[in-house]
Structure 1
Amino acid sequence: MSDTQITDSRYSWMRLGLTLAVATIANVGMWAIIVIMPSVEAEFSAGRAEAAMPYTLTMIGFALGNFILGRVVDRFGVTTALIGAACGIAGGFAVATLSTSIFMLSAAQLLVGFASAVGFGPLIADISHWFVRRRGIAVALVASGNYLSGAIWPTVLAEMLQTTGWRSVYLFMAGVTLAGVIPLALALRRRVPDATHAAAQATSLLNARSSGLSPRALQYLLGLAGIGCCVAMSMPQVHIVSYSVDLGFGPTAGAQMLALMLMGGVGSRIVSGLLADRLGGVKTLLIGSSLQTLALFLYLPSGGLTSLYLVSLVFGLSQGGIVPSYALIVREYMPAREAGARVGFVMMATILGMALGGWLSGAIYDFSGSYRLAFVNGIAWNGMNIAIMLWLLSRSRPRPARLVPA
């Protein structure tokens, strides 16, 4: 196969499959801590807020890792980034098993979260180089690796936790990460040809000029939009279990609602990817954000168990494709050779938005005594995201990505 025929090729699809496998393993770092949290709380006699600290540090590390490891991918390639991150994940898990306090565990989780980020934004940026006609669905599938990891590993690890304890679970995952990620990383050594980069660069330059914004200014604008959409997204995702308990339905029903969101999110990401291949990232993001706003409105009058299940599914179906759409917009408007850093920055902003929104919704609940104002707050933040996308769409008409002639 010649370099000029590499995009959307059989190799591209094979690489997509390998990348999805890596994402499913590497993202375990952000889910494993949730599984062991009750055991950690009991062992260290920690309060609920203190026991949540390792998860908070995990997400801070995950946010920073998306940006920094994205830069590593730009400079050294995805294989180097993956091997280093696999060692970081395994090392973080190993150090965590030596923890004698919740603070030591939190420090180890910061490393685990940072390294686990390689399975999200950096992999999304890398796979985007290997597709032109089907870039939307390729990005969506790799982004779904995060949800697949959340669907697979907690069940596996929970069963092991009951018989061996959380330290054994972490040592097991350290071994799985090294044994799974490193061989797959070596299979991804091939680099994107210069001709492919040049064609993508020319298209993104025209789009950037049509928007009247520099790449840096557009990056910051997308980051602000990402914070807005994810503050809104975090309200149901972070607080649905607590909301269910407040309404008298119990934590099990809330966990099932969360599972419905994640299942709907996988479907949404795939459908949004197919849609983005026709409409582009900005329009696809607008559709997802508008539907997310509608779902948040539907939560306000929903107080029955059945209605909450249905609205949670609708919410998952609406929001899953939003975050991958940001990566597509970056690829449409920004230099191809800087995709890892640019995508990583915007992914970092969305994760920080989730963290901010989760805390802000709790603070509003403490102030008002209910989640009603928290839903309204999410709708307002999502409105900011929609306004930014409408403004960007009004200023430019994204050109389709150019195929490199064979």
Structure 2
Amino acid sequence: MRRGRLFQGWYIVGAVHVLLALGFVASSLLSSSLVLFLGAFCILVGLGVGLVYVPAVSTIARWFVLWRSSASGIALAGTGLGTLLGPVVAGALMEHPSWQLTMQVYAAAIALTGLAAAVLRGRPEELGLHPDGVPPSGDPAAGQSAQGMDLAQAARQARFWWYFAAIFLGSIGLFLALIHINPLARQQGLSVAQANGLIGLIGVGNVLGRLALGRLGDRMGALRFLLVLTVSLAVLCGLWAMARGFVALSGFALVFGAANGGCIALYPAVAATWFGTRNLGAILGALYVAVGIAAVAGGSLAGWLFDVWGGYTPSILLAGGSAALSALAVWRAECAGRDGRG
């Protein structure tokens, strides 16, 4: 067994599902103490959610080259679909059993889902297969992508840090919209149901974008299409600043969510092209730290701007400006590679 296969196959995915299931069970049993409940949930579930994403995405990138963006989009659509359906199912369950039993039901479902990891293999070569089912053509670029570099090598390149900045800046707008589109809609006089529906529309658009736009990335080229989508996010934020009423905000939410979903589908494909797939899991894990920082910074900074200015226009401009800077950072990452600086 090769060193590293333990972290590329079904072992880590299965272990993460066990961690998630334990987090749900432990939290349901420690409900008498808020401190213990939060500790169990935040540590076990938070760690599990953070770990489950990267191994699956990096595995997809090793199995597909020609259709890498499409495959990544389809796989990542599962997270968006779960975000939409999870709260709905939980709410339906809690109408009958207690919330503690609901969490235990979720724990069982997560554990059963983890059994599917037994069929996963980190690389097609482990089963005597080839990416996309096509034998290698002898293309040096393909061989370099299949081998790739490790995290230390990637982190020494300017391209890595430009891409880190691009993902951070590109993620700010999504979290900002998810947090603040509801109160903005309420400020415009929309009902609670309509304001909540806008958040759902961002989620629906996000899932559709991951499913549909990844295929366009395969046709146009992942890097080129990522630039197009990132610039479109900046334009959409400009439209958001002018949107008034439920219809206009609904159109923005759906298209904005789709563009973000497309970016999410393309991030791993571009990283695989630049850094290879041999240690893609570690590299993506480091790059996606930027998403966590954006989740905290985006909403908080937008809230501070609202407190200072008394309106949401500066926050929307922040989202649009961040998207524009993200596109610039992606372009600089590409230029850094062409200049020989990685």
- Residues 205, 333 of structure 1: 8 Å contact kept: no
Moved more, 263-272 or 295-304: 263-272
What SS class does the counterpart of residue 264 from structure 1 fall into?
helix
* 2:26 corresponds to: 95
- How many angstroms does 1:268 deviate by? 1.4
Q: Do the aligned residues in 1 keep the contact of 2:146 with 2:278 (CA within 8 Å)?
A: no
- TM superposition shift of 1:274: 0.8
The one-letter amino acid of 1:145's match is G
1:94–1:174 CA contact under 8 A, matched in 2: yes
In the alignment, the residues of structure 2 paired with residue 353 and residue 292 of structure 1 have an alpha-carbon distance, to the nearest angstrom, of: 16
Give the secondary structure class of the aligned counterpart of 1:164.
coil
- Alignment correspondent of 1:331: 272
* Maintained 8 Å contact 1:226/1:323: no
Aligned to 1:77: 8
1:150-197 alpha-carbon deviations (Å, 9 max, x no partner): 222221111111222211111111111112212x01122474327969
**In 1, are the aligned partners of 2:144 and 2:276 still within 8 Å (CA)?**
no
Q: Which residue of 1 aligns with 2:118?
A: 186
1:120 aligns with 2:53: yes
5+ residue gaps, structure 2, are none
**Structure 2 residue identity aligned to 1:152:** L
Q: Which residue of 2 aligns with 1:378?
A: 319
1:351 maps to amino acid: G
1:215 to 151, 154, 158: 154
Q: Which residue number corresponds to residue 76 of structure 2?
A: 143
**Residue type of the partner of 1:120?**
Y
Q: Which residue among 245, 249, 269 is the counterpart of 2:210? A: 269
Q: Which amino acid aligns with 1:328?
A: A
Distance in 1 between residues matched to 2:101 and 2:268, nearest whole Å: 36
Structure 1 residues 204 and 274: alpha-carbon distance in aligned structure 2, compared to 1, 3 A threshold: same
Tell me how far 1:207 sits from its aligned partner: 10
Question: What secondary structure is seen at the aligned counterpart in 2 of 1:277?
Answer: helix
Q: State the alpha-carbon separation in 1 of the partners of residues 77 and 102 from structure 2.
A: 24
Q: CA deviation at 1:227?
A: 0.8
How far the C-alpha of 1:348 sits from its partner, in A, is 2.6
Q: Does 1:104 align with 2:36?
A: yes
How far 1:280 sits from its partner (Å)?
2.6
Distance 1:258 1:337, change over 3 A: same
Q: Is the 8 A contact 2:229 2:262 kept in 1?
A: yes
Amino acid at match of 1:193: E
2:181 corresponds to which of 240, 253, 269: 240
Distance 1:160 1:167 in 2: 11
Could you report, residue by residue, the CA deviation over 1:184-227 in whole angstroms, capped at 9, with x for unpaired residues? Answer: 0112247432796997773339999xxxxx62133222111111
Q: Name the TM-score, length of structure 2 as normaliser.
A: 0.85
Distance in 1 separating the partners of 2:163 and 2:169? 10
The letter for the 2-side match of 1:215 is A
Q: Secondary structure at the match of 1:248?
A: coil
Number of aligned positions between the proteins: 321
Show the counterpart of 1:163. Answer: 96
In the alignment, structure 1 residue 369 sits paired with structure 2 residue 301: no
Length-normalised TM-score, structure 1 = 0.73
Post-superposition Cα deviations, 1:237-291, rounded to whole Å, max 9, x if no partner, equal 1221222222221331122111111111122122321122123322121111111
